[in-house]
């Protein structure tokens, strides 16, 4: 078994465990091809942004991710954060470049809970005078 670097990324309700190994650029998510898993336009490019930020080609590393929970955008961003954290383990000098692009910051925004008496988290029922 080759040595790997693991990073955990979270966003909204999704969690991604990402492993980077030196290889030829294979990208798998939940044992499926990454391009087949993330079908939205621009998602795969967004996920691979950390490689560009540190001046590495994505083809130099094999990316294997296990994602669960959440929707498409949450999963996309959780995998991206996992890759950035794994790259940070590979070379600590890349931390400033990743931080400058905002790739190491965990986006803490989550769905607000519904309150009693309201229709959604903040939407109140229509006011009627009579």
Q: Report d(CA 40, CA 107) in Å as an integer.
A: 20
Residue 48: give its domain's CATH number.
3.30.230.10
Could you tell me if residue 107 is inside a domain?
A: no
Q: Which residues contact 45 (CB under 8 A, 6 or more apart)?
A: none
pLDDT reading at 1 higher than 70: no
pLDDT reading at 20 higher than 80: yes
Average pLDDT over all residues of the chain: 94
**At 58, is the pLDDT very low, low, confident or very high (cuts 50, 70, 90)?**
confident
Chain length of the chain: 130
**What's the alpha-carbon Rg for the chain, to the nearest Å?**
18
What predicted TM-score, i.e. pTM, was given to this entire model?
A: 0.91
**At 57, is the pLDDT very low, low, confident or very high (cuts 50, 70, 90)?**
confident
pLDDT reading at 119 higher than 90: yes
Please give the tally of structural domains in the chain.
1
Could you tell me if residue 112 is inside a domain?
A: no
Domain that holds residue 25: 5-100
């Amino acid at each position: 078994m080759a040595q790997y670097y693991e990073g955990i990324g979270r966003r909204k309700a999704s969690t991604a465990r990402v492993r980077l190994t030196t290889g030829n650029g294979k990208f798998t998510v939940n044992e499926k091809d990454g391009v087949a898993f993330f079908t939205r336009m621009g998602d795969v490019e967004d996920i691979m942004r950390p490689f560009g930020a540190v001046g590495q080609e994505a083809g130099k590393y094999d990316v294997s991710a296990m994602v669960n929970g959440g929707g498409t955008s949450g999963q996309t961003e959780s995998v991206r954060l996992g890759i950035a954290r794994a790259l940070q383990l590979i070379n600590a000098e890349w931390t400033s470049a990743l931080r400058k692009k905002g790739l190491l910051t965990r986006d803490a925004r989550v769905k607000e809970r519904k309150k009693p008496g309201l229709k959604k988290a903040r939407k109140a029922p229509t006011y009627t005078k009579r």
